Amino acid sequence: MRLTVFSDIHFAGPEERQRRGFESRVIRNPALRLLARGWRDWLWLRDPLEHGHRLDQLIGANPDPDLVVANGDFTVDTAFVGVSDDAALASASEALDRLRTAYGDRLLATIGDHELGKTSLFGGAGGLRLESWHRCGSALGLEPVWRRDFGPWSLIGIASTPVAFPVYEPDSSAGERPAWTAIGTDLMTQLETLLDDLGPTRRWLLFVHDPSALPFLRRLPALERRLPQLGLTVVGHLHTPSIFALANRLAGLPEIGWLGNTVRRHSAALREARVWREFHTVLCPSPTGIQLLKDGGWLDLDLDPEGRDPVRVFRRHLPWT
């Protein structure tokens, strides 16, 4: 039983590709702008707008899996406000259309943080938008919580950002915070219902875009009861196994609140990252990986048809072309 996982596709459609220099334009400090350019050119990703062809490469390399999970972040989010921006919505819609054309009802998809809006790393622009949340459902057809039974296994996905809203709260406007809190509470209630319905013996897999949500999920009584049945948790968000490995080594790091909101958010997640091990967490890389290592790809998961053996995980490399 073969399950294929993609994550962090970050597809840029025609409108987003016209926004060259989108990150530099929101950085006022020239020195910080130079630092951001170096970060992009040498470490992270030199030109995030020119990797849309990798989606077709992923599909071409995986013509006939049993199921596909696309684990969030379908758009580049060049306006930093998620799919409330029409250009970002068009990018995410095109990416999902290609995936749905290729895989039909074999495709499952989670909501990533870039679909909802994310404050820019260096410029402090943008942030969460409730309109983006509503468009994820109405325009993109993404379910915030879902379950698909697959032989003796159940696959469960949940949108990570509302679950981890205490981490993301400074990225939201004060007027929208009560609504985001209510959304997160509702998602947790829906997840508890799904987990209670699993029964005491059925095996399951969890798909969450941002691992920051895992400590919050761990507090659910229903998840506590079903944790021994969990075969694997697949996350995205971090793009590269090197960052995932570093995050595991830095687990327990104190929260750093004096270097800006992005550092605060990342360090808050790392403070509780030791819980990742309880979830048997693995990372699905982005198709590109990072500029420095060019280590992108996808995951194949082989599941025992009897539901007894551990999940076999294969990280596949996508050539940098």
Residue 244 CA to residue 127 CA, distance in Å, equals 24
Q: What pLDDT is stored for residue 269 in this prediction?
A: 64
In the predicted model, what is the mean pLDDT of residues 69-78? 98
pLDDT-derived band at 258, boundaries 50, 70, 90? very low
Strands 230-235 vs 203-208: parallel, antiparallel or unpaired:
parallel
Query: Smallest Cα–Cα separation from 283: which of 316, 230, 238?
Result: 238
In the predicted model, what is the mean pLDDT of residues 107-134? 93
Query: Smallest Cα–Cα separation from 209: which of 253, 273, 258, 144?
Result: 144
Is the Cβ–Cβ distance between 109 and 146 less than 8 Å?
no
pLDDT-derived band at 92, boundaries 50, 70, 90? very high
What Rg value do the Cα atoms of the chain yield, rounded? Answer: 19
Q: What pLDDT is stored for residue 246 in this prediction?
A: 85
Distances (CA, A) of 282 to 208, 234, 239, 242: 11, 5, 12, 12
In the predicted model, what is the mean pLDDT of residues 220-227? 95
**Strand order across the beta sheet in which 2-6 lies:** 107-109, 67-70, 2-6, 297-302, 312-317
Residue 178 CA to residue 188 CA, distance in Å, equals 16
pLDDT digit string, tens, across residues 98-108: 999 999 999 99
Indicate if the pLDDT at residue 260 is higher than 70.
no
Among 56-70, 151-165, 175-189, 260-274, which is the least confidently predicted range? 260-274
Is the Cβ–Cβ distance between 302 and 5 less than 8 Å?
no
Residue 96 CA to residue 91 CA, distance in Å, equals 9
CATH of domain 2-317: 3.60.21
Residue 33 CA to residue 27 CA, distance in Å, equals 6
pLDDT digit string, tens, across residues 184-213: 999 999 999 999 999 888 999 999 999 999
**Residue-range domain boundaries for the chain:** 2-317
Indicate if the pLDDT at residue 111 is higher than 70.
yes
Is the Cβ–Cβ distance between 160 and 208 less than 8 Å?
yes
According to DSSP, the residues that pair with 2 across neighbouring strands are 302
- CA end-to-end span of the chain, whole Å? 30
Residue 181, both tokens: 């809190």
pLDDT digit string, tens, across residues 5-29: 999 999 999 999 999 999 888 898 9
Q: What pLDDT is stored for residue 273 in this prediction?
A: 72
The DSSP string of 113-177 is: HHHH----TTT------HHHHHHHHHTT---SEEEEEETTEEEEEE-HHHHTHHHHGGGS-GGGH
